[in-house]
């Protein structure tokens, strides 16, 4: 019953990934976690956030490709995943293009200006 | 153990599929479509985070400094470790190693519970330090306008980590059900779809945390 030998399989849909691959990816993820904490304490100026995000994307890619078996997935699965990230891109680009272009308008009232002014006004009253 | 030798078809095969291979592909694809909707669900929150961080950058740095970086890092490691036990459970299901499969699933649930426990300790700390947004919010080391804006960090923090934790709780329920089925010896190389599909869900929740960790804990630390 407790037989660990991979069963020989004819069906290419059922790919058995060896355990050592999983352990290797696990250690890579742990090392990347350590790196992301380490670089957070180094002053990289404007590059801090892009580097942190690049490491997070590398980790996510490892999880997607090896743990979620995207390497052996069908093309239609790839279409679903690529499409979902594309839509996420649409969400970010279109909504940011609204918020960031508002200050191009000469009559523009900065977003959150009202809330900020309110906060400043109520400052002495709310002191505690 | 092997039912296929005696029955006309595998007991797990649903009548509307040609064979187990097709059934496996369909269920995996279905989970990916669900995860695509989840990407949009969390995506809206990530967008809100990006926008407010852009507007209130100083406040976000000040707020992030209140985060417990040690607990955050430990929790990241716990979650990555649980992803390892999930993929090992797929391996043990494929190799019909019932005992190891059940243990891998139990280990996953323990690690998930540890994550939630640590998260609860962190939430408790935030409440104690008046970092929950609302009337009692206080961040005395910064000026009041900055403190006001810092509340937005904590609104997003509690929404994003709370939604993530909710997914973990649901995941624990799913894995308890999976463990029960695994213990009955249902899974083999022909039929391990449920282990794979639930694993996809768990890894997705892990990926969300991989992004939440640097965004919420590691801003302006130098």
Provide the pLDDT for residue A1.
46
Classify residue B30: in a domain, yes or no.
no
pTM for this prediction: 0.87
Give the pLDDT confidence of A69-125 residue by residue, as tens digits.
999 999 999 999 999 999 999 999 999 998 888 777 777 666 666 666 766 666 554
Classify residue B198: in a domain, yes or no.
yes
DSSP H helices, B56-143, are 57-64, 69-94, 98-128
Residue range of the domain that includes B114? 43-217
* Under 8 Å between Cβ of B171 and B147: no
The count of domains in chain B is 1
Q: What ipTM is given for this predicted complex? A: 0.91
Task: Report the mean per-residue pLDDT for chain B.
Answer: 93
Classify residue B14: in a domain, yes or no.
no
Classify residue B144: in a domain, yes or no.
yes
Please name the residue of chain A whose CA is at the shortest distance from the CA of residue B95.
Answer: A6
Looking up residue B210, the CATH number of its domain turns out to be 1.20.120.80
Classify residue B142: in a domain, yes or no.
yes
* Under 8 Å between Cβ of A28 and A62: yes
Classify residue B38: in a domain, yes or no.
no
Classify residue B17: in a domain, yes or no.
no
A42 CB within 8 Å of a chain B CB: yes
| CA B39 vs CA B20, B31, B46, B126: distances in Å | 28, 12, 10, 27
Classify residue B74: in a domain, yes or no.
yes
Q: Name the residue among B1, B43, B190 with its Cβ closest to that of A88.
A: B43
A31 CB within 8 Å of a chain B CB: no
């Amino acid at each position: 019953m407790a037989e660990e030998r991979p069963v020989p399989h004819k069906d290419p849909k059922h790919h058995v990934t060896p355990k050592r691959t999983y352990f290797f990816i696990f250690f890579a993820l742990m090392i990347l976690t350590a790196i992301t904490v380490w670089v957070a304490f180094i002053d990289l100026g404007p590059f801090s956030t892009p580097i942190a995000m690049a490491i997070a994307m590398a980790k996510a890619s490892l999880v997607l490709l090896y743990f979620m078996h995207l390497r052996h997935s069908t093309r239609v699965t790839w279409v679903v995943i690529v499409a979902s990230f594309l839509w996420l891109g649409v969400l970010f680009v279109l909504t940011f293009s609204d918020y960031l272009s508002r200050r191009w308008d000469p009559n523009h009232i900065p977003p959150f200006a009202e809330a900020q002014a309110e906060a400043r006004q109520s400052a002495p009253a709310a002191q505690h | 153990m092997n039912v296929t030798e005696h029955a006309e078809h595998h007991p797990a095969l649903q009548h509307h599929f040609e064979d187990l291979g097709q059934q496996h592909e369909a269920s995996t694809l279905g989970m990916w479509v669900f995860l695509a909707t989840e990407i949009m669900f969390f995506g809206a929150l990530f967008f809100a985070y990006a926008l407010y961080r852009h507007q209130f950058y100083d406040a976000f740095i000040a707020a992030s400094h209140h985060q417990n970086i040690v607990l955050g890092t430990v929790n990241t490691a716990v979650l990555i470790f649980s992803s390892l036990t999930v993929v090992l459970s797929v391996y043990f299901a494929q190799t019909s190693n019932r005992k190891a499969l059940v243990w891998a699933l139990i280990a996953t649930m323990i690690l998930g519970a540890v994550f939630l426990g640590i998260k609860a300790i962190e939430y408790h700390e935030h409440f104690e330090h008046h970092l929950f947004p609302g009337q009692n919010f206080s961040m005395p080391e910064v000026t009041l306008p900055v403190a006001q804006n810092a509340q937005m960090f904590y609104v997003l923090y509690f929404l994003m980590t709370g939604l993530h934790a909710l997914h973990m709780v649901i995941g624990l329920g799913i894995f308890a059900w999976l463990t029960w089925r695994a213990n009955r010896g249902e899974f083999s190389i022909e039929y391990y779809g449920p282990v794979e599909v639930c694993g996809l869900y768990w890894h997705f929740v892990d990926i969300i945390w991989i992004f939440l960790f640097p965004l919420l804990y590691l801003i302006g630390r130098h």
